[in-house]
Amino acid sequence: MTDGAWDPDPYILVLTGFGILIALVAWLPLVLRRLPLSLPIVCIGLGALLFSLPGTGLRPLPILYPEITERFTEFVVIIALMGAGLKLDRVFNWRGWGVTWRLLGVTMPLGIVAIALLAGWGMGLPWAVAILLAASLAPTDPVLAADVQVGPPRTGAEDEVRFGLTSEAGLNDGLAFPFVHLAITLAAVAATGEAWFFEWFSYRVLWEVGAGALAGWLIGRAFGWLTFHVPAETKLAKTGDGLIALSATLVSYGLTEIIHCYGFLAVFVTALTFRHAHRAHDFHVQMHAMTEQIERIAMMILLLLFGGALVSGLLEPVTWTDAGIAAVILLVIRPVTGLIGLAGFPAHRTEKVIIAFFGIRGVGSFYYLAYGLNHMEVEGAERLWGIMGLIVLMSVLLHGLTVTPIMRSLDRQHGRDPDAEEAIPPPGLQGPAKT
């Protein structure tokens, strides 16, 4: 304070704002539990409001901060992948995961092809850029899809819809990466005409997918043994500290990236293997709660910045044609490819429609686009960011406003009381797990 003028220290303002943010992280899910409104919608709105205030000089546009955008979204995704893997109660096997293989093997490739053709012919993008956009938009987001995922470990909240969307979000983030690298490869060889297919397929597909899955399994086995099976007084579970899950996340991602394979895939496989080491142990609940809290805080910060980007001109390059294509991607391509992938699957038609509809796009798409643009030369990157921002915004609004009534109706069909204390978690994120 100087001469009666209000001149707060920016550091103090940041501390105060962060404290308010943490309070909102804990409180908002309770407020939104029965409302047709999701936490991401509230966060984006708050971000837009904050960055619209007079005197706010920061413009959090991803194109101005490409490295920060890539790294921050990367961190949020790997934390979400660990949380998703830890909370899956279903044992990993071919038959039990049938819905997952259909969504990965049929729905995602069809979606990539359809979006690439639409972007190439409808938007006039070069084919390499069209493939990058398609690969970025194909995966279901593991962060913003928390509304439709299974509950915390050992809660039994794992119907086919929630399981399918959770397992899909966990695995398709890693399996979309070869197509991102395909776009980068095509852009690199466009001028030279060099042969590219064998190197791309052998290295980017076979090696990076295979080694990523194997490395994730080995690291998960190692953490499972250290946590549950070493002599009683020295096992990590005795610490009671859920931070072990964060350690497993960072070690898995770091080691697999060091050997040049897909860290996203490795983290999810590590989480599944870690959970399998002792499926019924209470420590999984503590680890999941820790990853969820970190994910919530990081997600809210990211969405506040996204709201700020929206009011800073993120959507200015978007044309009406682009907006129409964005609507087709969300309302036509994902639902249609989802239903094609689930054709013949032994589930109720309503469940198939819900799975096909909730192809939520979000943080993972931001990461893939940032990664691609940081590794290839692209003209008109502002337009790509504008289209991506519009699609994510539309997804957050469309799915956020419909998720509560749809999932509550699904619970009633399965004989569950959505208003019970132990019911499926509220929109946006799960509350603290009961032990």
Q: What is the pLDDT of residues 378-429, one digit of tens each?
A: 888 999 999 999 999 999 999 888 887 888 888 787 767 666 644 444 434 3
| The pair of three-digit structure tokens given for residue 38, joined into one six-digit string | 């999701």
HSE-up of residue 168 (Cα within 13 Å, Cβ side): 35
What SS3 class is residue 398?
A: helix
% of the chain surpassing 90 pLDDT: 48
Residue 5: phi and psi, rounded to 5, are -85, 145
Per-residue pLDDT at 106 exceeds 70: yes
pLDDT at 21: 76
How many other CB atoms are there within 10 angstroms of residue 31's CB atom? 13
Q: Is the full-model pTM beyond 0.75? A: yes
In the predicted structure, residue 55 carries a pLDDT above the cut 70: no
The answer to whether residue 62 scores a pLDDT higher than 80 is yes
Q: Do 164 and 145 meet the contact criterion of CB atoms below 8 Å apart?
A: no
- The pair of structure tokens assigned to 112 is 């990539």
Give φ, ψ of 111 to 5 degrees.
Answer: -65, -40
Asked which of 13-27, 75-89, 293-307, 375-389 is least confident by mean pLDDT, the reply is: 13-27
What's the count of helices (H) and strands (E) in the chain, helices before strands?
Answer: 18, 0
Residue pLDDT, tens place only, 203-254: 999 999 999 999 999 999 999 988 888 776 667 777 777 889 999 999 999 9
Residue-by-residue DSSP string for 283-312: HHHHHHHHHHHHHHHHHHHHHHHHHHHHHT
Q: What percent of the chain has pLDDT over 70?
A: 89
User: How far is residue 291 CA from its own chain's centroid?
Assistant: 14
Q: For domain 38-413, which architecture applies?
A: Up-down Bundle (1.20)
Q: What is the pLDDT of residue 435?
A: 35
pLDDT tens digit sequence for 322-368:
999 999 999 999 999 999 999 988 888 889 999 999 888 889 999 99
* Band of pLDDT at residue 150, cut at 50, 70 and 90: confident
Mean pLDDT of all residues in 263-278: 92
Confidence of residue 125 (pLDDT cuts 50, 70, 90): very high
DSSP state for residue 431 in the 8-state scheme: -
- Looking up tokens 């100087």, which residue turns up? 2
User: What is the C-alpha separation between 226 and 236, in angstroms, rounded?
Assistant: 6
Q: Which of 293, 316, 298 is nearest to 390 (CA)?
A: 316
Window from 28-32, 127-131, 177-181, 209-213 with minimum mean pLDDT: 28-32
Residue 59's Cβ-count burial label (10 Å; 0-12, 13-18, 19+) is middle
pLDDT at 93 over 90: no
Instruction: For residue 347, give the nearest of 163, 99, 167, 102 by alpha carbon.
Output: 99
pLDDT of residue 36: 66
Please state, rounded to an integer, the average pLDDT across all residues of the chain: 85
DSSP 97-114: THHHHHIIIIIHHHHHHH
Q: Which residue has the higher pLDDT, 382 or 174?
A: 382
The domain spans of the chain are 38-413
Instruction: Report yes or no: 403 and 38 within 8 Å, Cβ to Cβ.
Output: yes
Burial class of residue 2 (count of CB atoms within 10 Å of its CB; 0-12, 13-18, 19+): exposed
Contacts of 303 (CB under 8 A, 6+ apart): 40, 43, 44, 47
Question: Residue 424 has what pLDDT?
Answer: 43
Q: What is the mean pLDDT of residues 90-108?
A: 90
Residue 184, φ and ψ in degrees, nearest 5: -65, -40
Cβ burial of 172 (10 Å; 0-12, 13-18, 19+) is buried
Flag whether pLDDT at 434 surpasses 50.
Answer: no
Confidence at residue 415, expressed as pLDDT on a 0 to 100 scale: 67
Neighbouring residues of 233: CB distance < 8 A, sequence distance ≥ 6 = none
Q: How many CA atoms lie within 13 A of 208 on its CB side?
A: 23
pLDDT for residue 423: 45
pLDDT at 5: 55
